[in-house]
Amino acid sequence: MRRSLEDYREIVGDEVISNIYRKARRLYGKHILHINSTFQGGGVAEMLTSLVPLMNDIGLEAGWRILHGNPDFFTITKKFHNALQGGNINLSEMKKQLYLQTNENFSTYTHIDHDCVFIHDPQPLALVKFYRKRQPWIWRCHIDLSNPNKELWDYVENFILRYDAVIFSSKRYIKKGLPVEQKIVYPAIDPLSLKNKELSENDMLKYIKKSNIPMDKPVIAQVSRMDRWKDPEGLLEVFKYVKEEIDCRLVYCYSSASDDPESMDIYRKVYNKAKKWVDTGDIIFVIGNNNILVNAIQRFADVIVQKSIKEGFCLAITEALWKEKPVIASNVGGIPLQIKDGENGFLLDPQDTKGFAEKIVQVLKHPEIGKEMGKKAKEVVKKKFLITRLLSDYLDILNEMIN
């Protein structure tokens, strides 16, 4: 059954609910469109799955469309993604042509007559070039843009200049010299979604058993997309040091998405490196998009780790904090917006392999530390990173842009 705003009342309180309804008054009947490149896998799709129905529930007319592309297109846009996060790219004319052609093809059968358009991430960024603008267009960038590849940034800036505003996840990504209004909106989780709702002890254990995760040792888990920026290979090195101190198990819980063609290659590479531990049952890979299973693993794990090299924000951390889990994560991107080191989690340099191991061992040997952090962590998420706050921020932007 579709959720409505009132379903969140017990979690966020009457004032939050009332403010959202108040902000929606001048937007009744306004047509809003979101466009991204995948309907499942990753935080963007998860947020839109909750945000769009809630927009409709409070009186807007919100829609969500998926940019269609062939495998070659998504191979190119994955290279765009990596380069915008600081990687290298050979920006050939062929890549540019295929990128533009896919966006133009989509525009020929996708009519846009809405009052405001939100374009999510680089894949559909160029769509604005192929429409006669009659409304505000806003680019919502969910990735880490602190140090983009200069050649690619110069290229995509041609499209960004056509937009009325850009939304980033952190002040770190503000681009000096970009003459387009830049806003900061933190991503958020839905506390009532299958991935985040409360689970009974019996339901949690049922899903853990289905995943063939034994319950005889402490469990460390990393939950994310299968992406090189999550540093799954580096996590193997961390695990090696932890195993010298305490007998435990590592669970890689990875989701896949149709717009990420690199994921299976990375999985195979990591699996081969981890094979000696896979054979002994000390490393387990859980792959798929079963949200209740992810929920169960996050709640069952003794420690959640996020050893990312780059992160736009990292909703996997938000999810773990909401579930009152001790989180040990890299001090990169949007992660320090969520974790205050030593209070509701631990932050480390992503290259500090031994530091990660030491903190994991500390929490496993002293679980009372993790419990105390977990209580504070949930309060942080409740105040700052729930879907109701995200909805409220979008309403502020829409009132400014439309009214």
Contact yes or no for 278/285 (Cβ under 8 A): yes
Continuous segment of H or E residues that includes residue 48: helix 43-57
Q: Give the three-class secondary structure for 37.
A: coil
Mean pLDDT of 301-314: 95
Among candidates 318, 204, 211, 194, which has minimal Cα distance to 254? Answer: 211
Contact yes or no for 213/219 (Cβ under 8 A): yes
Q: Band the pLDDT of 86: cuts 50, 70, 90.
A: very high
- Give the position of tokens 């297109």: 73
Residue 382 pLDDT greater than 70, yes or no: yes
- Give the position of tokens 């129905």: 53
Among candidates 334, 393, 366, 399, which has minimal Cα distance to 185? Answer: 393
Domain 5-188+386-402 CATH (choose: 3.40.50.300, 3.40.50.720, 3.30.930.10, 3.40.50.2000): 3.40.50.2000
CA 302 from centre of chain? 22
Instruction: Return the ∠ at Cα 185 (arms to 180 and 188), rounded to 5°.
Output: 150
Mean pLDDT check: name the lowest of 130-144, 263-277, 384-398: 263-277
CA distances (Å), 149 to each of 79, 91, 157, 163, 403, in order? 11, 10, 12, 21, 36
Residue 288 pLDDT greater than 80, yes or no: no
- The pair phi, psi for residue 260, each rounded to 5°, is -130, 85
Q: Name the CA dihedral angle for 56, 58, 197, 118, rounded to a multiple of 10 degrees.
A: 50
Domain ranges of the chain: 5-188+386-402, 201-384
What are the residues whose beta carbons fall under 8 Å from the beta carbon of 364, sequence distance 6 or more?
Answer: 218, 242, 246, 248, 302, 303
Contact yes or no for 117/136 (Cβ under 8 A): yes
* Structural fold of domain 201-384: Rossmann fold (3.40.50)
Q: How far apart are CA 291 and CA 196, in angstroms?
A: 8
The crossing angle, in degrees rounded to 10, of helices 232-245 and 263-273 is 30
- The pair phi, psi for residue 267, each rounded to 5°, is -60, -45
Among candidates 30, 120, 29, which has minimal Cα distance to 66? Answer: 120
Q: Please list the residues that pair with 62 across neighbouring strands.
A: 32
Percentage of residues in the chain having pLDDT higher than 70: 99
pTM: 0.94
What confidence tens digit (pLDDT) does each residue in 30-41 have?
A: 999 999 998 887
Q: Band the pLDDT of 262: cuts 50, 70, 90.
A: confident
Mean pLDDT check: name the lowest of 26-35, 38-47, 125-134, 255-264: 255-264
Q: Band the pLDDT of 54: cuts 50, 70, 90.
A: very high
Is there a shared CATH topology between the 5-188+386-402 domain and the 201-384 domain?
yes
Residue 259 pLDDT greater than 70, yes or no: no
pLDDT of residue 351: 96
What confidence tens digit (pLDDT) does each residue in 317-333 have?
A: 999 999 999 999 999 99
Residue 115 pLDDT greater than 80, yes or no: yes
Q: Band the pLDDT of 256: cuts 50, 70, 90.
A: low
Q: How far apart are CA 133 and CA 140, in angstroms?
A: 17
3-state DSSP helix/strand/coil percent for the chain, to nearest 5? 50, 15, 35
Mean pLDDT of 47-74: 96
Task: Select the more confidently predicted residue: 266 or 192.
Answer: 192
| Chain mean pLDDT for the chain | 95
Residue 77 pLDDT greater than 90, yes or no: yes
Percentage of residues in the chain having pLDDT higher than 90: 91
Q: Band the pLDDT of 254: cuts 50, 70, 90.
A: confident
Mean pLDDT of 267-288: 92
pLDDT of residue 258: 63
pLDDT of residue 211: 87
Q: Band the pLDDT of 287: cuts 50, 70, 90.
A: confident
- The pair phi, psi for residue 350, each rounded to 5°, is -60, -20
Residue 403 pLDDT greater than 90, yes or no: no
What confidence tens digit (pLDDT) does each residue in 206-240 have?
A: 999 988 899 999 999 999 888 888 999 999 999 99
- DSSP E strands, 177-320: 181-184, 219-225, 249-255, 283-287, 303-306
Among candidates 367, 387, 283, which has minimal Cα distance to 324? Answer: 367
Q: How far apart are CA 136 and CA 401, in angstroms?
A: 7
Residue 255 pLDDT greater than 90, yes or no: no
Strand order through the sheet with 137-140: 61-66, 31-36, 116-120, 137-140, 165-168, 181-184
